[in-house]
Amino acid sequence: MRILAINIQNFRKLLQCHIDFSKKTTLFVGANNSGKTSAMDALGKFLADRSFTFNDITISERSDINQIGDRWIQEGCEEPADLAEWESFVPKMDIWLDVSRNEIHYVAGIIPTLKWRGGKLGVRLAFLPKDISKLFSEYREAYFASRKTEKAKEKLEIRLYPKNLCEFLEKNLNTYFSIKTFILDPAKAEADEPQTTPFEMECFTDNPLKGIIKVDMIDAQRGFADPDNADGTEGAKKQLSEQMRSYYDKHLDPEKSPSPEDLDFLQATEEARKAFDRNLAIKFEPAIHELEGLGYPGIADPKLTIATKMSTGETLKHDAAVQYALSKSDDTLKLPEKYNGLGYQNLISMVFDLMRFRDDWMR
Contacts of 88 (CB under 8 A, 6+ apart): 64
The residues, any chain, with a CB within 8 Å of residue 292's CB and separated by 6 or more, are: none
The per-residue pLDDT for 221 is: 57
The single-letter DSSP state of residue 275 is H
Buried/exposed code over 260-298 (b: 16+ C-beta within 10 A; e: otherwise): eebeeeeeebeeeeeeeeeeeeeeeeeebeeeeeeeeee
Residue 163 within any structural domain of the chain = no
Same domain, 270 and 326: no
Predicted pLDDT at 57: 93
Question: CB count, 10 Å around CB of 159?
Answer: 12
Please tell me the number of Cα atoms within 13 Å of 199 on its side-chain side.
11
- Residue 12 inside a domain? The answer is yes
Residue 206 falls inside a structural domain:
no
The CA distance from 319 to 53, in Å, is: 13
Residue 362 structural domain: 223-255+311-363
The verdict on 25 and 81 lying in the same domain is yes
In a domain, 165, yes or no: no
Per-residue pLDDT at 220: 65
Over residues 108-138, the pLDDT tens digits come to: 888 888 888 888 999 999 999 999 999 999 9
- The verdict on 180 and 304 lying in the same domain is no
Same domain, 67 and 45: yes
For the chain, what is the domain count?
3
* DSSP at 223: -
Query: What is the Cα–Cα distance from 92 to 206, expressed in whole angstroms?
Result: 15
| CA distances to 12, 21, 164 from 36, in Å | 11, 14, 31
Measure the N-to-C terminal CA separation of the chain; round to a whole number of Å.
64
31 within domain boundaries: yes
**Same domain (yes/no): 295, 242:** no
Residue range 41-99, pLDDT digits in tens: 999 999 988 899 999 999 888 899 999 999 999 998 999 989 999 999 999 999 999 99
For residue 222, the model assigns a pLDDT of: 55
For position 324, what pLDDT does the model report? Answer: 78
pLDDT of residue 333: 78
In a domain, 143, yes or no: no
Q: Is residue 144 part of a domain?
A: no
E strand map for the chain: 2-11, 14-20, 92-99, 119-129, 177-183, 323-325, 334-336
Q: Which portions of the chain are predicted below pLDDT 70?
A: 220-238, 297-301
- Say whether both 237 and 280 belong to one domain: no
**pTM confidence score:** 0.76
C-alpha distances in Å from residue 338, one per residue of 257, 320, 322, 329: 32, 9, 9, 23
Q: Which helix (H) or strand (E) holds 282?
A: helix 263-293
Contact 53, 336 (CB under 8 A): no
Q: How many CA atoms lie within 13 A of 129 on its CB side?
A: 21
- Report pLDDT for 299: 67
Residues 121 and 190 in one domain: yes
Q: Would 339 be classed as within a structural domain?
A: yes
Helix (H) or strand (E) holding 289: helix 263-293
- Identify whether 297 is preceded by a cis peptide bond (ω within 30 of 0): yes
Reduced to 3 states, what is the DSSP secondary structure of residue 194? coil
Q: Are 249 and 279 in a shared domain?
A: no
What's residue 224's pLDDT? 44
Q: What are the residues whose beta carbons fall under 8 Å from the beta carbon of 40, sequence distance 6 or more?
A: 28, 217
The answer to whether 100 and 196 have CB atoms below 8 angstroms apart is no
Are 40 and 189 part of one and the same domain? yes
What 3-state DSSP class applies to 265? helix
Alpha helices by DSSP H, 177-233: none
Q: What is the largest CA-CA distance in the chain?
A: 86
